[in-house]
Amino acid sequence: MHFPRRCNPITIIFSGLLAAMAFSKCTVAQPRPFVPADFAVPATLETPHFRARMLTVNDVVKDYDAVMTSIDHLQGSFGPGSTWPTRDLTFEQNLIDLGWHQKEFQTRRSFTYTVVSLDESQVLGCLYMYPTTKGDYDAEIIMWVRASEVARGLDAILFTAVKQWIKKDWPFKKAAYPGRDIKWHDWEAMK
R_g of the chain computed on alpha carbons = 16
The pTM of this model reads: 0.84
pLDDT of 167 above 60: yes
**What percent of the chain lies above the pLDDT cut of 90?**
80
pLDDT band at residue 27 under the 50/70/90 scheme: very low
The stretch 49-75 carries a mean pLDDT of 97
Tell which residue, 113, 117, 140, has the closest CA to residue 127: 113
pLDDT greater than 80 at residue 80: yes
pLDDT higher at 11 or 49: 49
Task: Report residue 15's pLDDT band, with 50, 70 and 90 as the boundaries.
Answer: very low
Q: Which amino acid is present at 38? A: D
Domain ranges, ordered by start, for the chain: 45-189
Tens of pLDDT, residues 120-164:
999 999 999 999 999 999 999 999 999 999 999 999 999 999 999
Domain 45-189 has CATH 3.40.190.10: no
Q: Answer whether 144's CB lies under 8 Å from 52's CB.
A: no
Q: Are 166 and 141 in contact (CB under 8 A)?
A: yes
CB 92 within 8 Å of CB 81: no
Average pLDDT over residues 10-16: 36
- The Cα 141–Cα 125 span in angstroms is 14
pLDDT score recorded for residue 31:
54
